[in-house]
Amino acid sequence: MTDLAVETRGLTKRFGHQLAVDSLDLAAPRGSVFALLGPNGSGKTTTIRMLLGLAAATGGTARVLDHEVPGGLGAALPQVGALIEGPAFYPFLTGADNLARLDAADPRGRARTRSHRVAEALERVGLTKAAGKKVRAYSLGMKQRLGLANALLLPRELLVLDEPTNGLDPQGTREVRSLIRSLADGGTTVLVSSHLLAEVEQVSTHAAVMHQGRLKAQGTLAELRAAGTAQVLLRTPDPEAAAAELVRFGLVVTGRQQAADGSTDLTATLPEDAPAPEYLVAELVAAGVGVRGFEVRRPSMEELFVALTGEGFDVAR
Ligand SMILES: Nc1ncnc2c1ncn2[C@@H]1O[C@H](COP(=O)(O)OP(=O)(O)O)[C@@H](O)[C@H]1O
Ligand SMILES: [Mg+2]
């Protein structure tokens, strides 16, 4: 057994001449909440469909729970719960009856305990009150919750959730987040896709950033955050002397702008091996540079993702 729940090498999917997924190398550790993050159309759903054997790869390899995809999926899938785009339910059956049907299709689910499992799954996603309603009358958010409940019927080693908060209101989104957390606390690996950075930041331990089918970055959230270059913002009435000092310590001055108080705002990138900020400030002052403001800032995850994907993330919705 490896320590990876999902691993892909060069995974590729081509639709006609379009590369929906382009040589993807994913490594999702067991026990992680691993986010597949990218704007719409970046290849998240296609990747997930390949992992679950719902679409054939054009190239590359994938392993799920140490089983080769697609050959070994028969052995892996009983341990995988999945929610993928637009879960299909019978509109004329109630939510509970739909789940009972799906549960019956899984040989691991014993008939005697079925109604208990269904009730418990509905409870976890907050659908107990709507259990007896026909799915036809469900909102998009309720259908999404029912899809989640389906993935939760049996205990799984791996949960794969494709945009699980689609169609949910902020309250529903919070509930899904805390559900993911509690599943992860119970030892389940969760692979979750999202186009919403804010959502990912709050719940995942790892992330892979995709753009146009390509992997742009991958790692723990801390690693991804640290990947951005730190910047120094210095407000000074002595810009020439200040810039000379910064350069002396290996910083690269990238911008200067007149400040409201008549002094100058200098921006400089702070290399990994630069002296500590407090030391820099002391040196500036010792060199006779007036320091009216000094700030070290790292790019936010959002700035980082914008830089990686070349487009803004929909963080509000
Ligand atoms: N069945 C398909 N036939 C043709 N193109 C597809 C198909 N499925 C997805 N695509 C294309 O592949 C790209 C990636 O889509 P998708 O995996 O759904 O992205 P995401 O889930 O990140 O929004 C998109 O450009 C999409 O139009
Ligand atoms: Mg998608």
For the domain that residue 262 is a member of, what is the CATH number? 3.30.70.1710
| Distance in angstroms between the alpha carbons of the first and the last residue of the chain | 39
Q: What is the dihedral of CA 280, 282, 286, 292, to 10 degrees?
A: 90
Q: Are residues 233 and 219 in the same domain?
A: no
> For the domain that residue 133 is a member of, what is the CATH number?
3.40.50.300
Q: Confirm if 138 and 160 have CB atoms less than 8 A apart.
A: no
Residue 264 beta carbon below 6 angstroms from any ligand 1 atom: no
Assess if residue 307 is contained within a domain.
no
Distance, in Å, from the CA atom of 186 to the CA atom of 193, rounded to the nearest integer, reads 20
Q: Are residues 45 and 172 in the same domain?
A: yes
User: How many distinct structural domains can be found in the chain?
Assistant: 2
Residue 20 beta carbon below 6 angstroms from any ligand 1 atom: yes
- The per-residue pLDDT string of the chain (317 residues; one tens digit each, 9 = 90 and over) reads 789 999 999 999 999 999 999 999 999 999 999 999 999 999 999 999 999 999 999 999 999 999 999 999 999 999 999 998 766 899 999 999 999 999 998 888 899 999 999 999 999 999 999 999 999 999 888 888 999 999 999 989 999 999 998 888 888 898 889 889 989 999 999 999 999 888 888 899 999 999 999 999 999 998 888 777 788 999 999 999 999 999 999 999 999 999 989 999 999 998 888 889 999 999 999 999 999 999 998 877 777 777 777 765 544 33
Six-digit token string for 105: 């299709």
Half-sphere exposure of residue 3: CA atoms within 13 angstroms, side-chain side:
2
For residue 85, what are the contacts with CB-CB under 8 A and spacing of at least 6?
A: 45, 162, 163, 166
Q: Determine the pLDDT at residue 224.
A: 87
Q: Determine the pLDDT at residue 86.
A: 64
From 293, 302, 220, 286, select the one nearest 249 (Cα to Cα): 286
From 295, 303, 278, select the one nearest 227 (Cα to Cα): 303
Q: Are residues 96 and 239 in the same domain?
A: no
Q: Determine the pLDDT at residue 199.
A: 82
Of 209, 226, 243, the residue that ends a domain is: 226
Q: Confirm if 162 and 176 have CB atoms less than 8 A apart.
A: no
Q: Are residues 8 and 64 in the same domain?
A: yes
Residue 43 beta carbon below 6 angstroms from any ligand 1 atom: yes
Minimal-distance CA residue to ligand 1 atom 3 = 15
Q: Are residues 256 and 204 in the same domain?
A: no
Structural domain containing residue 289: 229-297
Minimal-distance CA residue to ligand 1 atom 16 = 43
Assess if residue 148 is contained within a domain.
yes
Residue 194 beta carbon below 6 angstroms from any ligand 1 atom: no
Residue 40 beta carbon below 6 angstroms from any ligand 1 atom: yes
Assess if residue 259 is contained within a domain.
yes
Pocket probe for ligand 1: among 13, 46, 50, 166, the residue whose CB has the most ligand atoms within 8 Å is: 46
Q: Are residues 210 and 235 in the same domain?
A: no
Minimal-distance CA residue to ligand 1 atom 5 = 15
